[in-house]
Structure 1
């Protein structure tokens, strides 16, 4: 099952596209290859997957 992404951004143009996800989440999904810590305005530590992955994109 693919992780849900509310804000898919920059998808490749293959038949089954991989995308970057702009969501800030409490932890990256298991298949993420490049998880980065994001400092938020509220001071809460969040994470963002910065690698192209397969998602179920809510904004398509």
Structure 2
């Protein structure tokens, strides 16, 4: 997977774990991910997006 639509997570506000490992993503949209605790992005070598505490306030683990 190379891209994710900007509204892909818009209505997934209860999502707590997301594994997007081993793709070709350079960024991911954060709208709707306010409950996300764990995010896995291992293997996305082109990832540029830097997440802030404001965009993912409940994030506790990123790998």
> Which interval holds the TM-score relative to the shorter structure?
under 0.3
TM-score of the two chains, using structure 2 as the length reference: 0.25
Structure with max Cα Rg = 1
Higher relative contact order (CA 8 A, sep 6+): 1
> When you count strand as a share of all residues, which structure comes out higher?
1
TM-score of the two chains, using structure 1 as the length reference: 0.25
